[in-house]
Amino acid sequence: MRTEVVVTGLGALTPLGGDVASTWAGLLAGQSGITALTSPEFADLPVRIGGRLPVDPAQALPRATARKLDRNQQMLLLAARQAWTDSGLAHLAGTGQAVPGERLAVSVSAGSGGLLSILETWETLKEKGARMVSPFTVARFIADGAASWIGLEIGAKAALETPIAACATGSEALRRGAELIRAGWADVVVAGGGDASVHPFLLASFAAMRALSHRNDEPARAARPFDKTRDGLVLSEGAAVMVLESAEHARQRGARVYAELAGAGVSADSYDFAQPDPTGEGQAAAMRRALTDARLAPDQVVHINAHAAGTPVGDRLESVAIRRTLGHHTSDAVVTAPKSMMGHLLGGAGAAEALATVLALHHRVVPPTINIDDFDDEIALDVTREPHELSGGVVGALTNSFGLGGHNSVLAFRSVGAT
Amino acid sequence: MASIDQLNTELSDLVNKVAGVPLEEIRPDKSLTSDLDIDSLSVAEIIIAVEEVFGVRIPDADMSDISTIHEVAAYIHKAQAKQL
């Protein structure tokens, strides 16, 4: 029999809030986390809007800890701590019921690694010389740094992994986490992703690709997936982490289960670096594989958390791909686009949106999509603009993450019991 | 030239500042790694700071003989005496 994987802990720092409760409340209320970037280093950029955390992760950690960690690592460590505590496993540490380190793994990624630390240290090296380069520089910039810091803190000895897949990074980290449990390498995996992306270097780089919204005068209205006037994505920072656990392990310790991570599907377009395959087949293949893996039929999918970054081509193509996957059942699935509120968390997006999907199943309500003033009639999906209540019973949901370079990563979740 | 006692006090402040170890836990006879539980990269940071503040060089080869705060102080004291 296949090992079932369930979600037993959640943690997040997003532009909507410094924890899961405030993020979820912001999503349900249809709040925008996007603001104008007014400090001098952004002044000369073509795009001066972004989603910043309302809390400074460096302030939430002891100074000696904060200075060892890149900003992405600070966010991911804090999100992991939240999830670890939320799962109840933190309280078991040091007792006979603690998860043995040998059965505990980490699958946590940052899409850009410690890019901010690289930029900062390069300045130090040029201005002050090699002697002033911190011994923590490598630890701060390597892409797997966050996984290692989290592993050190919880004593994970089964594996530390860091799957990277551009904007699908967070989703891929969760997929790998579930695989570690299914393959029998671990009973519990702390999994998720995050990126510290609100920096002039990233804004300039993404703007050069023509990927960003230029709506500088209306930050809160700039992220507008599925609206006719959408003009690109909005960069945000943030992290989301889950505790994944074998259903048997969770049952034995009486853990609260949010949802089942029922399956995952992956594919690659290999069509163009920045543009998705225009047939939508790559994205549809990933969705079909996720459904098959989760043993979900198209008519059991009541909710889709769309990748919907707000780019003119991407949103339309996702609609094509969803219809290709669900056929005439497409209208049974309520679609939402949390990037309309959180912006694009890059390596954190897949994890934060998986978290929103899990909470939608847990609370039986789908958060709205905001900023749709003029719905693009080329989008043939049931996109909700109000919080939408889900029916009872066991239902399935998909969350899509598509990344630059042609990564398609889809996670399938199933609701559990009565709530 | 600073006495060993003075050096011990200054080093304790430096270890507190760099590695975040509470001052009340720091004593001259404590080992940086095994007693104060300071990780290897933070020890490297402490050594860089020591070299900067006290104007001495501590080659990697000599690090194997240095474990406690007092041993660091003695090393600095000896190196400074040579410079006089």
Hey, where are the domains in chain A?
Answer: 5-252, 264-414
Q: Which helix (H) or strand (E) element contains residue B44?
A: helix B40-54
Give the integer Cα–Cα distance in Å for A110 and A134: 21
Q: What angle do CA B84, B63, A141 make, to 5 degrees?
A: 115
pLDDT at position A1, please?
A: 74
Give the integer Cα–Cα distance in Å for A83 and A207: 34
Per-residue pLDDT of chain A (419 residues; tens, 9 = 90+): 789 999 999 999 999 999 999 999 999 999 999 999 999 999 999 999 999 999 999 999 998 899 999 999 999 999 999 999 999 999 998 888 899 999 999 999 999 999 999 999 999 999 999 988 999 999 999 999 999 999 999 999 999 999 999 999 999 999 999 999 999 999 999 999 999 999 999 999 999 999 999 999 999 999 999 999 999 999 999 999 999 999 999 999 999 999 999 999 999 999 999 999 999 999 999 999 999 999 999 999 999 999 999 999 999 999 999 999 999 999 999 999 999 999 999 999 999 999 999 999 999 999 999 999 999 999 999 999 999 999 989 999 999 999 999 999 999 999 997 54
Length of chain B (residues)? 84
CB–CB contact B48 A64 (8 Å): no
Interface confidence, given as ipTM, is: 0.83
Give the integer Cα–Cα distance in Å for A338 and A327: 24
- A385: Cβ contacts below 8 Å, ≥ 6 apart: A368, A369, A370, A372
Distance spanning both ends of chain A, measured CA to CA: 27
Which of B45, B51, B60, B63 is most worth mutating to test chain A (most A CB atoms within 10 A of its CB)? Answer: B45
Say what the alpha-carbon torsion angle A226, A231, A235, A240 is, to the nearest 10 degrees: 10
pLDDT at position A418, please?
A: 53
Which of B21, B38, B48 is most worth mutating to test chain A (most A CB atoms within 10 A of its CB)? Answer: B48
Counting DSSP H helices and E strands in chain A, the numbers are 14, 15
CB–CB contact A135 B20 (8 Å): no
Give the integer Cα–Cα distance in Å for A410 and A6: 16
- What three-state secondary structure class fits A140? helix
pLDDT at position A186, please?
A: 98
Give backbone dihedrals phi and psi of A200, rounded to 5 degrees, phi first.
-50, -40
B18 touches chain A (CB under 8 A): yes
Identified catalytic residue from A344, A362, A388, A407: A344
Size of interface A-B (CB pairs under 8 A): 20
CB–CB contact A134 B18 (8 Å): no
Write the residue in B20, B44, B48 that is nearest to A64 by C-beta.
B20
Residue A210 · residue A188 · CB < 8 Å = no
Identified catalytic residue from A167, A199, A303, A407: A167
Tell me, yes or no, if the two domains A5-252 and A264-414 fold the same way: yes
Give backbone dihedrals phi and psi of A198, rounded to 5 degrees, phi first.
-90, 85
* Cβ-Cβ contacts under 8 Å, A63 against chain B: 20
CB–CB contact A135 B41 (8 Å): yes
Query: Domain A5-252 falls in which CATH fold?
Result: Peroxisomal Thiolase; Chain A, domain 1 (3.40.47)
Among A281, A276, A330, A327, which Cα is nearest to A303's?
A330
CB–CB contact B20 A134 (8 Å): no
Beta strands in A61-220 (DSSP E): 104-109, 159-161, 188-195
Give the integer Cα–Cα distance in Å for A168 and A400: 8
Residue with tokens 């377009």: A269
pLDDT at position A419, please?
A: 42
Say what the alpha-carbon torsion angle A63, A138, A90, A396 is, to the nearest 10 degrees: 120
B19 touches chain A (CB under 8 A): yes
Residue A398 · residue A411 · CB < 8 Å = yes
The residue of chain B with its CA nearest to that of A140 is B41
Q: Is B83 exposed, middle or buried (0-12, 13-18, 19+ CB in 10 A)?
A: exposed
- A266: Cβ contacts below 8 Å, ≥ 6 apart: A172, A175, A286, A289, A407, A408, A409, A410
Could you confirm whether domain A264-414 is CATH 3.40.228.10?
no
Q: What is the mean pLDDT of chain A?
A: 97
Identified catalytic residue from A199, A303, A307, A388: A307
Strands A301-305 and A396-403: parallel
Confidence of residue B1 (pLDDT cuts 50, 70, 90): confident
Q: Is A269 exposed, middle or buried (0-12, 13-18, 19+ CB in 10 A)?
A: buried
Structure tokens at A252: 């034995």
Give the integer Cα–Cα distance in Å for A222 and A34: 8
Residue B51 · residue B18 · CB < 8 Å = no
Q: In Å, how far is A68's CA from the nearest CA of chain B?
A: 8
